């Protein structure tokens, strides 16, 4: 075989072997760090070609000067390859980030849509139940077979109030989440606000055999919407009374410390399962065990509304288990 052909064959073989080895290394790097693999790919091509040219030059017995020239040319091409590789790495990183963001956005959208469907289904079920009861009681009154008409009328009124609360919570929650609810900022004394809510909740508590107490030794002033803050505290108290068994107690306290106003509601529900704690404030969430939805429940909207109201006022709300039940804490900017 002619020397030229031998040199060419040797060059092709060298480039092939070097290229395959480099490709294998790049594949391993790609699976771990794609951007690094993209940055090294052009340099690997130059290296493979350089190895082939070096072997060819040696096989053709070129002078050291000629081989040096070839190496200088290859060395000049290496920075260009590195720049190209860096650009490819940046593009790949950008594409990877965009793909991850799009996947996260799709997952979030699916989660929101599923939550919306669950919420609509839950609220529809919760509205249908009292409506069925109202219809049955109304038919009994129309037919004159109601044994105790005043009791039936009272039950109808209670169920209507319950549905009104659910619809009101749903509307307020929708406005707050969409940014359509405008807050009326005014000076609010949490001690007076909580005192009024406790007075109303105490009546319900006495009927259920639950003792409701409040403690607010000093005025605690915040800036906010009195009506919405009252709804939030009322929802917390209603939730606490509903899940506290007869003979239990619900305590409410208000205090100010280090520029933060705090409203705490402690009940005797028996505690919340650890796996449920992160979801307690999700709209439509249904508790389990000690906090199984009971008669008079608000469709899983009450605590979700609390979170949105508190967030709209620049505050935060949380819950922890604290025997014999759990403790909800609302924090708001003080002053």
Q: How confident is the model at residue 289 (pLDDT cuts 50, 70, 90)?
A: very low
Quick check: 5 pLDDT over 80? no
> What phi and psi values does residue 276 have, to the nearest 5 degrees?
-90, -20
CA-atom Rg of the chain in angstroms: 36
What is the model's pLDDT at position 291? 41
> Residue 127: is its pLDDT beyond 90?
no
What's the token pair of residue 10? 């040797």
Query: What CATH class has 186-333?
Result: alpha beta
pTM exceeds cut of 0.75: no
| Cβ pair 7, 59 in contact under 8 A | yes
Residue 319 contacts by C-beta under 8 Å, 6 or more apart in sequence? 272, 277, 280, 281, 326, 327, 328, 329
For residue 131, name the pLDDT band (cuts at 50, 70, 90): confident
Handedness of CA 265, 269, 270, 274 (dihedral sign): negative
Other CB atoms within 10 A of residue 302 CB: 23
Sorted by sequence, the CB contacts under 8 Å of residue 335 that are 6+ apart come out as 221, 222, 223, 259
User: Each residue of 64-101: pLDDT tens digit?
Assistant: 666 666 666 666 666 666 666 666 666 667 777 788 88
Q: What is the pLDDT of residues 169-202, one digit of tens each?
A: 777 777 777 666 677 888 999 999 999 899 888 8
The tens digit of pLDDT for each residue in 224-245 reads: 888 889 889 988 998 899 899 9
pLDDT at 86: 66
């Amino acid at each position: 075989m002619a020397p030229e052909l031998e040199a060419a064959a040797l060059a092709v073989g060298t480039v092939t072997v070097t290229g395959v080895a480099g490709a294998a290394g790049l594949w391993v790097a790609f699976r771990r760090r794609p951007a690094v693999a993209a940055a090294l790919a052009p340099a690997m091509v130059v290296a493979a070609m350089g190895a082939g040219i070096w072997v060819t030059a040696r096989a053709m017995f070129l002078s050291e000067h000629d081989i040096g020239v070839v190496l200088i040319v290859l060395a000049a091409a290496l920075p260009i390859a590195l720049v190209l590789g860096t650009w490819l790495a940046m593009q790949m990183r950008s594409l990877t980030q965009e793909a991850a963001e799009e996947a996260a956005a799709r997952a979030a959208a699916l989660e929101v849509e599923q939550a919306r469907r669950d919420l609509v289904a839950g609220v529809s079920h919760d509205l249908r139940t009292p409506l069925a009861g109202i219809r049955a009681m109304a038919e009994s009154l129309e037919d004159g077979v109601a044994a105790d008409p005043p009791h039936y009328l009272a039950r109808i009124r209670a169920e209507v109030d319950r549905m009104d609360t659910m619809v009101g919570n749903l509307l307020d929650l929708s406005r707050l989440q969409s940014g359509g609810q405008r807050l009326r900022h005014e000076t609010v004394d949490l001690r007076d606000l909580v005192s009024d809510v406790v007075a109303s909740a105490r009546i319900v508590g006495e009927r259920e055999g639950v003792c409701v107490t409040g403690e607010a030794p000093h005025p605690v002033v915040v800036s906010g919407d009195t009506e919405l803050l009252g709804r939030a505290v009322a929802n917390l108290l209603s939730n606490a009374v509903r899940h506290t068994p007869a003979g239990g107690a619900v305590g409410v306290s208000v205090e100010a410390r280090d520029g933060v106003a705090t409203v705490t509601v402690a009940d005797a529900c028996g505690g919340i399962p650890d796996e449920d704690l992160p979801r307690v404030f999700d709209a439509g969430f249904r508790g389990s065990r000690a906090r199984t939805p009971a008669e008079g429940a608000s469709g899983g909207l009450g605590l979700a509304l609390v979170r949105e109201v508190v967030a709209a006022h620049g505050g935060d709300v949380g819950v922890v288990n604290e025997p014999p039940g759990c403790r909800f804490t609302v924090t708001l900017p003080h002053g």
